[in-house]
Amino acid sequence: MPLPALLFLLAAAALDAGTPYDGRKSQLDVRPPRLEGAPVVDGRLDEPQWHEAAVLTGFSQFSPVDGEPAQDSTRVLVWYSATAMHFGVRAYEAHRAAGGSAAVNATLADRDRIESNDYVQLLLGTFDDGRQATVIGVNPLGVQSDGTLVETGRVASSSGFDAATVTREAPDLSPDFVFESKGRLTEYGYEIEISVPFKSLRYQPGAEQRWGINVVRRVQHSGYEDSWAPARRGAASFLGQSGHLVGLTDLRRGLVLDVTPTITQRTAGQWHAAPTPAGAPAAETKWRYVGEPAEVGGNVRWGITNNLTLNGTVNPDFSQVEADAGQFAFDPRSAIFFPERRPFFLDGIEQFAVPSNLIYTRQIVRPLAAAKLTGNVSGTAIAFLSAVDDTVSSYSGRYHPVFNVLRVQRDLGAQSRVGVAYTDKVDGGDYNRVADLDARFVFGGIYSTQFQLAGSVDRRAGTTTRAPLWNARFARNGRRFGARYDLSGVARDFRAGSGFISRPGVVNANIRHSLTLLGARGAALENVTGEVVLSGTWQYEEFVNAGKIQDRKLHLNTNAQLRGGWRAGASVLIETFGFDTLLYSGYAIERPRLDGSAIRDTVAFNPFVSRATPLIPNLDYVLSLDTPEFERFSGNVFLLWGHDENFFEWASSAILFATFGADWRPTDKLRFNASYQIQQFDRRTDGSTVGVRRIPRLKAEYQIARPIFVRLVGQYDASRQEALRDDSRSGLPLLIRNPEGVYVLAGPEESDFFRGDVLFSYQPNPGTVVFAGYGSSLDDSDPRIGRQVLRRSSDAFFVKLSYLFRV
């Protein structure tokens, strides 16, 4: 052991006189002392209680290679008072102890944005079910990152093409909790102090508590992740390998009542024409601002019991303070998912998690009022939400839709569960109802299986439809060999008025086999995973009637972690796509008549009438590279190129899909994030570009102080499509049926859109905020000016004020 590390351990042992619990020796049942008093959370572990605290030591490396002793020593101190859990962290960093100040990444980041920093995560399983946990993360300066983790069996990968590298599931960082934390850099590394009040946690009833606990430390300069409980990467559950806090008694949560009144005001700008006398020429339009009435609303959170919470809201605030980042779709038949960001819906959102996204609260677009009940009773998780929405989400635009959502889950053994869900959207005389049954079983440590069966009943404009959704999965999570088998189907008429279905009407089957080779710590190649994926897609009706397959795919993927935290991936994609008659049902070909007259015929666009290509073979290549999280910089590149389907004209094309991202942190307070995306399709017949879209985006933030920052965001979205033709066949023009049912030539299209946002934010704790911002949109849709000229189309100033009153 290096001398600085030995000196650190000796000094720490002298300071920490409490009972040690060594993770590597499987001393995983921790009995923290209950002590009087409350420490001053200042990042200095100098109060007398810290000398009596239980000490978590003996961390193991989890990633990139599990089972090795952690390279950097970490000691976590734990004790509790009547009203809170208290954690202290002493993190040793050998390079800093040797005089390398750049070895610890630490900035004044915004909340939940510490992924580029060193950090420590506490995973508290307050219901001790080995399936869900509250996640408390803190960087070396005390900046917080919190959320929840509910294990569902998802596999993490940097993209849909990279190998599904064995790793733990990532937490959902959307929910925010009220807790205190401070940190500081020291001569040996860093020190953090954390206090989590019981008011901010939900936990099981009982005089004596037993909670799951694990502590994860991320070391950015090496790319290593360490775990106090010696977790195996090949296990089916990461949380199921946690240790425990035992003997917790006389926890005093007190009255849990949070009241958060909110005031929002918006002043919007738009073009207005000045009034003119009758017969006079119209006056030039001018830009004018109209102040909207201030909206007064608020949220109430009441802890009915330790494990049941009731939330209510009236006129909740605007959905978000930053526009959604632009995304590309590889397949135009698949809708794009955007996460929930509104505070009311985020509290307890993990309780509403359902496979296939059958509950998606962004379907409640502009709620007037809502209430929800969440909690856990005797191993059964209960979540109920009811909301009245604005007419904007009504099918007809005349009614206020009423949403009712119920989710119930029951624990089975240590890590398995069974759940049901029911959603109901009533929209005047129309309605949408979905019922669901799903389950996940974990067995043998590395095996898991899950299934889901759901049905929808949808009544719209006097017509009622019923349709099913189903899926099943079997997975083996091995340290070296992994396998996963999936089969899922969504009927074309399945509708989830309270959920998100990316693409209905298809059946997908997937077989994945992966092999991981582990290198020695510090080797140039620390681990590499190879994966073979076979998948097929059927139209739903074809599958149930034993019909033909539509799309076939063979993906050969690799993903490697290199020394120092570098990550690289490569793939070869061999595919065959079949003609989708539904996608092109509104297409036709315009061709001259055989008699030579000026009148032109319209011929349906399908393989049997127009000789459209029934099958398109694809061969694509993928490369990706992620840099380590350097102290001041990190970046990523993703490239896909080759021969792929041109959905514009149903022909083979040369495709380029690329994304470039970079984060630059020139100081501890200033950070820039830049990204550039391009998607381009070139005809293979003559090399001409049929469609291209580019999205550059830049975000700059300055953290004035830990709770205060200023943010500027600019995003430009430019797309161009050439006149469409029956490429590689007749070369004749294509027609597309417009909303009125009339065929029109698919001529050239071009659009340019720019969105800019400026925000001042003061947020000392979740709930208490001051937002002041300005957002502006520019586009080229005004027909009076040239297509290439961007003109302001809308803008607005907004202010939000809210204050958390915690009883």
Domain assignment of residue 801, yes or no:
yes
Q: Is the bond preceding 696 in cis, omega lying within 30 degrees of 0?
A: no
- 468, with CB counted inside 10 A (0-12, 13-18, 19+), is middle
Q: Given pLDDT bands bounded at 50, 70 and 90, which one contains residue 165?
A: low
pLDDT at 158: 38
Interval 387-420: pLDDT, tens: 999 998 898 889 999 999 999 999 888 788 999 9
| Residue 14's pLDDT band (cuts 50, 70, 90) | low
pLDDT at 157: 43
Cβ neighbours of residue 727 closer than 8 Å, sequence gap 6 or more: 646, 649, 651, 683, 685, 690
Q: What is the 3-state secondary structure (H, E, C) of 87-107?
A: EEEEEECHHHHCCCHHHCCCC
Domain identity same for 285 and 238: no
pLDDT band at residue 581 under the 50/70/90 scheme = confident
Give the long-range contacts of residues 406-411, CB within 8 A, separation 24 or more: 407/351, 407/352, 407/353, 407/354, 407/359, 407/381, 407/382, 407/383, 408/380, 408/381, 408/382, 408/383, 409/351, 409/380, 409/381, 410/379, 410/380, 410/381, 411/129, 411/131, 411/379, 411/380, 411/381
Distances (CA, A) of 62 to 158, 168, 249, 705: 18, 9, 32, 34
Same domain, 264 and 245: no
pLDDT value of residue 412: 87
Q: What is the pLDDT at residue 15?
A: 64
Whether residue 475 has pLDDT greater than 70? yes
C-alpha dist (Å) from residue 426 to 277, 288, 381, 625, 784 = 47, 38, 25, 48, 42
N-to-C CA span, the chain:
50
- Alpha-carbon span 792 to 249, nearest angstrom: 61
Average pLDDT of 482-510? 95
Q: Which of 452 and 317 is assigned the larger pLDDT? A: 452
Q: For residue 353, which of 383, 311, 375 has the smallest C-alpha distance?
A: 383
* Total domains, the chain: 3
pLDDT bracket for residue 531 (50, 70, 90)? very high
Q: What are phi and psi of 497, to 5 degrees?
A: -65, -20
Q: What is the pLDDT of residue 230?
A: 95
Half-sphere exposure of 46 (CA within 13 A, CB side): 4
Average pLDDT over every residue of 145-152: 90
Q: Which amino acid is at 160?
A: G
- 264 bridge partner residues: 295, 800
Domain final residue, candidates 463, 479, 504: 504
SS3 for 11? helix
Judge contact between 393 and 416, C-beta under 8 A.
no
Q: What is the CATH number of the domain that holds 13?
A: 2.60.40.1190
Which of the listed ranges 151-165, 311-325, 452-466 does the model predict with the highest average pLDDT?
Answer: 452-466
Q: Does 750 or 272 have the greater pLDDT score?
A: 750
Predicted confidence at residue 605, as pLDDT, reads 85
Distance CA 211, CA 149 (A): 15
Residue type, 212: G
Question: What are the respective helix, strand and coil percentages of the chain, to the nearest 5?
Answer: 5, 55, 40
Closest CA to 73 of 235, 232, 224: 224
Q: How far apart are CA 181 and CA 191, in angstroms?
A: 11
Nearest CA among 418, 389, 417, 419 for reference residue 404: 389
> Where do the H-state alpha helices sit in 303-426?
343-346
Say what the pLDDT of residue 166 is.
Answer: 58
| CB 569 within 8 Å of CB 623 | yes
Asked whether residue 516 is domain-assigned, the answer is no
Question: Long-range contacts: 549-555, Cβ < 8 Å, 24+?
Answer: 549/578, 550/577, 550/578, 550/580, 551/575, 551/576, 551/577, 551/578, 552/576, 555/161, 555/531
Beta bridge partners of 337: none
| Separation in Å, CA 717 to CA 209, 751, 779, 790 | 53, 8, 9, 12
Query: Which DSSP letter does residue 730 get?
Result: T
Are 97 and 195 in the same domain? yes
Confidence of residue 302 (pLDDT cuts 50, 70, 90): very high
Q: What is the pLDDT of residues 81-119, one digit of tens each?
A: 999 999 999 999 877 655 555 579 999 988 999 999 999
Give the distance, in angstroms, between the CA of residue 746 and the centroid of all CA atoms in the same chain: 36
Judge if 337 and 358 occupy the same domain. Answer: yes
Tens digit of each residue's pLDDT (9 = 90 or more) over 42-81: 999 999 999 999 999 999 999 998 989 999 999 999 999 9
Q: Is 97 a member of any domain? A: yes
Tell me how far CA of residue 395 lies from CA of 102, 106, 340, in angstroms. 57, 49, 22
Residue 353 falls inside a structural domain: yes
Last residue of a domain, one of 484, 504, 524: 504
End residue of a domain, out of 451, 482, 504: 504
Interval 759-763 mean pLDDT: 94
In-domain check, residue 544? no
| Residue length of the chain | 807
Query: Are the CB atoms for 182 and 192 separated by under 8 Å?
Result: yes
Contact yes or no for 792/770 (Cβ under 8 A): no
Angstrom CA distances, 600 to 589, 597, 731, 733, 746, stand at: 10, 8, 15, 11, 15
Q: Hey, what are 696's tokens?
A: 């550059």
Distance of CA 518 to the CA centre of its chain: 29
Structure tokens at 565: 């935290």
Sequence-distant (≥ 6) Cβ neighbours of residue 172 within 8 angstroms: 147, 148, 149, 150, 349, 350
797 class by beta-carbon count within 10 Å (0-12 exposed, 13-18 middle, 19+ buried): middle
Residues 713 and 776 in one domain: yes
Please state, for a pLDDT cut of 90, what percent of the chain lies above it: 67
Residue 417 lies in a domain: yes
Domain co-membership, 165 together with 206: yes
Write the pLDDT tens digit of every residue in 426-474: 999 999 999 999 999 999 989 999 999 999 999 998 899 999 999 999 9
If asked whether residues 585 and 726 sit together in one domain, one would say yes
More confident residue, 230 or 157: 230
The residue range of the domain holding 401 is 307-504
Residues 213 and 284 in one domain: no
Token pair for 445: 């440590």
**Coil vs helix vs strand at 501:** coil
In this structure, are 312 and 389 located in the same domain? yes
Q: Which amino acid makes up residue 421?
A: A
> Which residue shows structure tokens 């970490």?
74
Query: For 626-635, what is each residue's pLDDT tens digit?
Result: 999 998 999 9
Residue 601: the pLDDT is 73
- 392: exposed, middle or buried (C-beta count within 10 Å: 0-12, 13-18, 19+)? exposed
The verdict on whether omega for the bond into residue 401 sits within 30 degrees of 0, i.e. cis, is no
Alpha-carbon gap, residue 84 to 77, rounded angstroms: 14
Q: Please tell me the predicted confidence (pLDDT) of residue 152.
A: 80
| 312, 216: one domain | no
Token output for 648: 């514009």
**pLDDT at residue 156, as a whole number:** 45
183-225 pLDDT, tens digit per residue, is: 999 999 999 999 999 999 999 888 899 999 999 999 998 889 9
What's the CA angle centered on 29, arms 411 and 229, to 5 degrees?
80
498 & 594 share domain: no
- Do β-strands 54-57 and 20-22 pair in parallel, antiparallel, or remain unpaired? parallel
CA 78 to chain centre: 31
Same-domain status, 603 and 708: yes
- Report pLDDT for 317: 66
**Confidence class for position 800, pLDDT limits 50, 70, 90:** very high
Q: Average pLDDT for residues 736-758, to the nearest whole number?
A: 91
Distance between CA atoms of residues 124 and 203, nearest Å: 10
Q: How far apart are CA 185 and CA 449, in angstroms?
A: 45
**What sign does the dihedral 534-537-542-548 (CA atoms) show?**
negative
pLDDT band for position 281 (cuts 50, 70, 90): low
Give pLDDT, residue 758: 95
Domain assignment of residue 80, yes or no: yes
Calculate the average pLDDT of the chain: 89
State the amino acid at position 447 in one-letter form: Y
C-alpha distances out from residue 198 to 21, 38, 585, Å: 24, 13, 58
Asked if the structure places residue 236 within a domain, the reply is: yes
Helices and strands: H and E segment counts in the chain: 5, 44
pTM: 0.88
Structure token pair of residue 639: 């490239």
